Structure 1
């Protein structure tokens, strides 16, 4: 029961004063464990102007186990899988690195920061990471194109 209380508290804090460029709602009012997050692409990044939908799923053992964060919107990024799952690779969400004191708001801010500054050395899409490192101009073009195609404001 403690996890529900903490989740409700974090949800109300994030709804009342969301981090920059992030909007949080419940996917289903009856389910506290699944959140729908809308994230604006950060200014100056190839994702600028896009709105990305992110699924955040909290385990019943939260805060002792980390949430899972995945992109519902397709995104061209070295730290997000290029498939329908859109799984995001975030160091702080690994079970061995997760701390119960971590807050969901911090997770979301870190995720948005990752859009502005990808971490190619911690990539799950190796080909995209290589391109980011070796042909950044082309990476930016493709990321911008995907943002226009998949993350337009509708």
Structure 2
């Protein structure tokens, strides 16, 4: 079941992936993917390229993928080792979700879009780093300055490769080797 679902998602990605996200299997392993997200322009992560590691369990989609940032990032919902607190990746995971037109399946693209949204709109109630959350709540300017500095320092490597990667529609990590 998982292989069939992952093959379908990989096929669908070619049609539905926004230009600021890329993803695909590493070394043709459908259970291990890499993703890249370009920092949203309306966030302190603007201009950054963030790499993520995605591991799908053997019983996917009945259990969520494990998604973590490889690129260091200063964010209240992402901890020092890249773990992300996003409801949909924990207790709230379900292989389907309800939208106004009825039930629909959750695909990795929706997860990546939610992570992009989290970069623009952190959720202090779901904090993984109390110090960053405190700064976010009490001194937004300093939080944003620190996030911009971390983005400049850690998320600007290989920008030319990322642009070519997105432009060519490639979904394999091989273009970064």
Q: Structure 2 length as normaliser, TM-score?
A: 0.81
Structure ranking higher on relative contact order (CA contacts 8 Å, 6+ apart): 2
Indicate conservation of the 8 Å contact 1:74/1:151, yes or no.
Answer: yes
Aligned match for 1:79, one of 74, 77, 80: 77
Query: What is the RMSD of the two structures over their aligned residues, measured on CA atoms?
Result: 1.1
2:120 is the counterpart of 1:116: yes
Query: Following the alignment from structure 1 to structure 2, what is the Cα–Cα distance between the partners of residues 88 and 123?
Result: 9
> What is the count of residue pairs matched by the alignment?
149
Indicate conservation of the 8 Å contact 1:15/1:25, yes or no.
Answer: no
Matched position secondary structure for 2:62: coil
The gaps in structure 1 that reach 5 residues or longer are: none
The correspondence of residues 1-154 of structure 1 with structure 2, limited to 5 A, is 2-29=1-28, 31-82=29-80, 85-94=81-90, 96-101=91-96, 102-154=106-158
Report how far residue 126 of structure 1 moved: 0.8
Runs of 4+ in structure 1 deviating by more than 6 angstroms, as ranges, are: none
Query: Following the alignment from structure 1 to structure 2, what is the Cα–Cα distance between the partners of residues 106 and 68?
Result: 14
Query: Following the alignment from structure 1 to structure 2, what is the Cα–Cα distance between the partners of residues 78 and 20?
Result: 26
Question: Radius of gyration: which is bigger?
Answer: 2
Indicate conservation of the 8 Å contact 1:19/1:105, yes or no.
Answer: no
Query: Following the alignment from structure 1 to structure 2, what is the Cα–Cα distance between the partners of residues 114 and 106?
Result: 12
Report how far residue 25 of structure 1 moved: 2.1
Q: Structure 1 length as normaliser, TM-score?
A: 0.93
The gaps in structure 2 that reach 5 residues or longer are: 97-105, 159-177
Indicate conservation of the 8 Å contact 1:15/1:23, yes or no.
Answer: no
Query: Following the alignment from structure 2 to structure 1, what is the Cα–Cα distance between the partners of residues 62 and 22?
Result: 24
Matched position secondary structure for 1:8: helix
